[in-house]
C-alpha cells in the first residue's frame, strides 16, 4: 500500500496526533505511575525498556493492528472490532483510558471534519476508522500514533521521576525505529494475529487501581 501522504494528509495526521489535540492523553499513564512507584521503572534505561516492551509486546503492537483493521472495517465489522479491542484490555483502567480517548477523539474529529465517527470506539479503532474515512494510509497513522503514545508516557514519567528534557527526548528519539517496525509489521497482520506478552505492564495497571496518592487516571 502506498504510504506517502499528500501535504494536506500530512498536516491532518500531524494535527490529529499532536499533544494539543483534545484527546486528553495527558491524564493517563497506562500503569506507568504504578511501575515507577513500585521501583520497576527507576531510571531512564528502565523506562526506555518498559516503553520498548509496550511497543513490541504490549498495547503498541495490538493498537497498530487495530488501526490497520479499523481502516477498512465498516458497520457490523467495525462494531465487532471495537468489542474485540475493548475485550483485549485486561484492566478496568486501561479500558477507561482507551474508551475515553476514543470518545474524545471522535467528538473533536466529528466537529472538525464531519466524519461519521460513532462513540464507543476504543482510541486506536476510532483513529484507524477516521483515517480510513479520510483516505489516510494506515501505516503512517500507526507510526505517529505509537510515537505519540511514547511521547505522552515519557512526559508522564517526567512528573514521576527525575528525568530531564534531554534524557526524556533521547528516549523518544531512540524508540522511533521501534515505532516504525511495529507499524510496518502490523500492516501484514490482522485481528487473529493479535498477541501480547506485556504481563508486568498489565500488572502495573492493575496495581494502579489502589495507588494513593496518584496523578493519573491509569
Partner 1 sequence: MPPRAEGELRLSARLSGGRSRIDDLRQAGSLRALFPRPHGAALDAVFLNTAGGLTGGDRMRIEARAEAGARIVISSQAAERGYRAEAGEGARIEVGLAVEAGGRIDWLPQETILFDGAAIARRMSVTLAPGAVALLAEAVILGRTAMGEEVGVLRFRDRWEVRRDGRLQFVEALDMTGDAAALMGRPGIGGGARALATVVFAAPGAEGQLDELRSLLPVTAGVSAVAEDLVVLRMLAGDGFEMRRGLVPVLEHLAGGPLPKVWRL
Angle 41-64-177 (CA atoms, 0-180°, nearest 5)?
60
- How far is residue 214's CA from residue 2's CA, in Å, rounded to a whole number? 44
Residue 137 grid cell: 494510509
State the nearest-atom distance from the C-beta of 37 to partner 1, in Å.
Answer: 11
| Phi, psi dihedral angles at 122 (to 5 degrees) | -60, 150
State the Cα–Cα distance between residues 95 and 209, nearest whole angstrom. Answer: 13
Residue 38 burial (CB < 10 Å; 0-12/13-18/19+)? middle
Nearer to partner 1, 8 or 80 (CB): 80
Size of the site for partner 1 (CB under 8 A): 41
Residue 190 touches partner 1, criterion: CB under 8 A: no
Among 5, 27, 46, 107, binds partner 1 (CB under 8 A): 46
Q: Is 206 in the site for partner 1 (CB under 8 A)?
A: yes
Apex CA 114: angle with CA 111 and CA 119, to 5°?
70
Candidate segments 20-28, 148-156, 178-186, 191-199, binder of partner 1 by CB under 8 A: 191-199
CB of 30 to partner 1, least distance (A): 10
Q: Which of 7, 165, 177, 210 binds partner 1 (CB under 8 A)?
A: 210
State yes or no: residue 102 binds partner 1 (CB under 8 A): no
Per-residue contact string for residues 61-100; x = within reach of partner 1 by CB under 8 A: -x-----------------x--xx--xxxxxxx-x-----
Residues 6+ apart with CB under 8 A from 34: 204, 205, 207, 208, 211
Question: Cβ contacts of residue 208 below 8 Å, gap of 6+?
Answer: 29, 31, 33, 34, 93, 214, 216, 218
Nearer to partner 1 by C-beta: 42 or 215? 42
Choices 4-12, 50-58, 119-127, 151-159 (CB under 8 A): range interacting with partner 1: 50-58
Q: Point out which residues bind partner 1 (CB under 8 A).
A: 35, 38, 40-41, 46, 49-54, 57-58, 62, 80, 83-84, 87-93, 95, 194-207, 209-210
Amino acid at each position: 500500500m502506498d504510504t506517502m501522504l499528500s501535504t494536506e494528509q500530512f498536516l491532518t495526521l500531524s494535527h490529529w496526533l499532536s499533544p494539543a489535540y483534545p484527546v486528553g492523553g495527558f491524564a493517563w499513564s497506562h500503569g506507568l505511575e504504578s511501575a515507577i512507584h513500585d521501583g520497576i521503572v527507576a531510571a531512564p534505561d528502565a523506562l526506555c525498556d518498559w516503553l520498548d516492551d509496550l511497543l513490541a509486546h504490549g498495547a503498541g503492537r495490538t493498537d497498530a493492528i487495530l488501526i490497520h483493521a479499523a481502516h477498512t472495517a465498516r458497520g457490523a465489522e467495525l462494531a465487532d472490532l471495537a468489542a474485540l479491542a475493548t475485550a483485549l484490555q485486561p484492566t478496568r483502567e486501561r479500558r477507561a483510558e482507551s474508551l475515553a480517548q476514543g470518545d474524545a477523539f471522535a467528538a473533536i474529529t466529528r466537529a472538525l471534519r464531519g466524519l461519521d465517527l460513532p462513540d464507543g470506539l476504543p482510541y486506536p479503532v476510532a483513529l484507524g476508522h477516521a483515517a480510513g474515512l479520510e483516505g489516510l494510509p494506515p501505516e503512517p497513522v500507526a507510526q505517529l500514533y505509537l510515537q505519540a503514545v511514547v511521547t505522552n508516557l515519557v512526559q508522564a514519567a517526567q512528573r514521576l521521576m527525575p528525568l530531564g528534557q534531554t534524557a526524556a527526548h533521547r528516549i523518544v528519539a531512540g524508540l522511533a525505529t521501534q515505532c516504525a517496525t511495529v507499524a510496518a509489521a502490523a500492516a501484514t497482520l490482522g485481528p487473529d494475529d493479535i498477541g501480547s506478552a506485556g504481563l508486568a505492564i498489565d500488572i502495573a495497571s492493575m496495581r494502579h487501581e489502589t495507588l494513593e496518592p496518584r496523578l493519573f487516571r491509569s
